[in-house]
């Protein structure tokens, strides 16, 4: 088998970004070696709040351009609590990367694993397995991506813009319907819910109108609707009834964190941000500088984001090897929890970053060779 080399722009960023990024590529490289036929080549780019403190800029010169020259971008974490721009907002070069490369489809998987904390007492909470699909370039975040879009009226008023365009929203909804189809092909319900506030805002009514228009090309996909406030309620009452939820940027930012809290916490919150020609992958948690370098971080959100990256490379480059490596990582995480071999400190367990990484490495080897040891 000929080997395919993928070029990955790697931004470790701030806080635990370095810890979880190194853990992720240790395991991705191991999975790639086990599968054979592919290699990930890391191309480091310096960026983040720490870099801003050193240099006065939030990403190294030419960093944005270099990021776009790679097959994918991986980001560990960005931001430090006390580092702010003159406007008071956080250092956020990743928002510009979303804007620059039009990474409109923010995929946030939410899945309950065995032997992880349950926030809901209903036994059906063990069946939570859904995706929050967040539009990532427009909505209420439109003003945040580029300085100067907000309307600032002296020191008395600020107006941020809720932007919904037909061009981006059509692509988002098409992505959502295709994702629902893909989920169904993998044994999931494949049901798609449009989450909006169409009863109040014209921009949201426009969002739903385009959803209905694009649905005509996907008559095989079951669809439904929910206002965002009702959806927040239903994520507490009956999250197991949902599969793919598509929504505006700010709504997705909030509901994906809410949903993540139902299945353990942000240490499990993987994220893919996908556009037509580029994609960025990152754990959705923060930089947690209070535990940086202390071997306490749960690396699973980053590792699962890495698996999403392999899955993306598999689809965009028709790489069976990348698909097999992604499945190997995902299966290792699933089996690790089932066998109680993954016990992150975040959940009150006894395993830090290094121990979690080492155990997942053992699982990858066992699954690849067919010699799983079973529960411990």
Active-site entry in 129, 196, 253, 311 = 253
Mean pLDDT of the chain: 94
pLDDT tens-digit series, residues 351-362: 999 999 999 999
Asked whether the predicted pLDDT for residue 138 surpasses 50, the reply is yes
Q: What residues does CATH 3.40.718.10 cover in the chain?
A: 1-103+278-376, 118-263
Q: How confident is the model at residue 375 (pLDDT cuts 50, 70, 90)?
A: very low
Q: 143 falls in which pLDDT band (50, 70, 90)?
A: confident
- Of 316 and 146, the structure prediction assigns the larger pLDDT to 316
The model's confidence at residue 142, banded by pLDDT at 50, 70 and 90, is confident
Whether the predicted pLDDT of 146 surpasses 70: no
Stretch among 144-148, 171-175, 272-276 having the lowest mean pLDDT = 144-148
Q: What is the pLDDT of residue 87?
A: 77
Is residue 151's pLDDT more than 90? no
Under DSSP, the state recorded for 227 is E
The mean per-residue pLDDT over the stretch 208-237 comes to 98
Burial of 244 (0-12, 13-18, 19+ CB in 10 A): buried
CA 117 to chain centre: 20
pLDDT above 70: percentage of residues in the chain:
97
Residue with tokens 């403190």: 53
CATH level 2 (architecture), domain 1-103+278-376? 3-Layer(aba) Sandwich (3.40)
Under DSSP, the state recorded for 70 is: S
- Check pLDDT > 50 for residue 376: no
At residue 176 the predicted structure's pLDDT band, cuts being 50, 70 and 90, is very high
Helix axes 166-185, 202-215, angle to 10 degrees: 50
pLDDT of residue 373 exceeding 70, the answer is no
CATH number for the region 118-263 comes to 3.40.718.10
Counting residues of the chain whose pLDDT is more than 90, the rounded percentage is: 87
Neighbouring residues of 22: CB distance < 8 A, sequence distance ≥ 6: 12
Residue 260 has a pLDDT of 94
> Residue 374: what pLDDT?
55
Does the structure show a pLDDT above 80 at 252? yes
Could you read off the pLDDT of 284-328 as tens digits, one per residue?
999 999 999 999 999 999 999 999 999 999 999 999 999 999 999
CA nearest 82: which of 257, 290, 254?
A: 290
295 is catalytic: no
Q: Which of 220, 229, 276, 277 is catalytic?
A: 229
User: What was the pLDDT predicted at 150?
Assistant: 81
pLDDT band at 3 (very low <50, low <70, confident <90, very high): confident
Q: Which pLDDT value is given to residue 191?
A: 98
Start-to-end C-alpha separation, the chain: 36
Which 8-state DSSP code applies to residue 266?
Answer: G
Task: Note if 142 is an active site residue.
Answer: yes
Examine the residue annotation and report whether 330 is marked as an active-site residue of this protein: no
> Where do runs of H (alpha helix) occur along 36-115?
49-55, 63-68, 93-101
Sign of CA dihedral 177, 183, 187, 188: negative
Which of 71, 171, 196, 197 is labelled catalytic? 197
């Amino acid at each position: 088998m000929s080997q395919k080399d993928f070029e990955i722009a790697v931004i470790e960023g701030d806080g635990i970004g370095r810890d979880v990024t190194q853990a992720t590529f240790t395991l991705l490289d191991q999975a790639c070696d086990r599968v054979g036929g592919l290699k990930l080549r890391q191309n480091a780019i310096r960026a983040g709040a720490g870099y801003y403190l050193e240099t006065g800029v939030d990403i190294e010169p030419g960093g944005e351009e270099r990021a776009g020259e790679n097959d994918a971008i991986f980001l560990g974490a960005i931001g430090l609590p006390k580092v702010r721009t003159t406007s008071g907002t956080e250092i956020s070069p990743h928002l510009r990367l979303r804007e620059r490369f039009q990474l409109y489809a923010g995929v946030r998987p939410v899945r309950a694993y065995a032997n992880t904390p349950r926030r809901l007492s209903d036994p059906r909470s063990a069946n939570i397995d859904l995706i929050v699909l967040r539009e990532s370039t427009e909505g209420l975040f439109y003003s945040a991506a580029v300085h100067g879009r907000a309307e600032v009226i002296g020191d008395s008023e600020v107006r941020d813009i809720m932007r919904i365009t037909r061009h981006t929203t059509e692509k988002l909804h098409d992505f959502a319907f295709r994702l629902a189809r893909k989920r169904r092909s993998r044994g999931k319900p494949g049901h798609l819910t449009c989450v909006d506030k169409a009863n109040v805002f014209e921009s949201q009514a426009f969002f739903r109108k385009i959803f209905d228009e694009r649905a005509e090309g996907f008559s095989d996909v079951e669809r439904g609707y929910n206002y965002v406030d009702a959806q927040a309620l239903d994520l507490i009452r009956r999250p197991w009834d949902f599969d793919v939820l598509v929504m505006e940027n700010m709504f997705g930012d909030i509901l994906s964190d809410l949903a993540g809290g139902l299945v353990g916490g942000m240490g499990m919150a993987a994220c893919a941000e996908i556009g037509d020609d580029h994609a960025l992958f990152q754990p959705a948690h923060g930089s947690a500088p209070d535990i940086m370098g202390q071997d306490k971080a749960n690396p699973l959100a980053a590792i699962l984001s890495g698996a999403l990256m392999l899955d993306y490379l598999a689809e965009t480059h028709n790489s069976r090897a990348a698909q097999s490596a992604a499945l190997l990582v995902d299966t290792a995480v699933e089996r690790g929890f089932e066998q109680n071999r993954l016990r992150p400190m975040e959940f009150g367990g006894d395993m830090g970053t290094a121990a979690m990484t080492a155990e997942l490495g053992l699982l990858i080897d066992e699954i690849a060779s067919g010699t799983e040891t079973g529960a411990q």
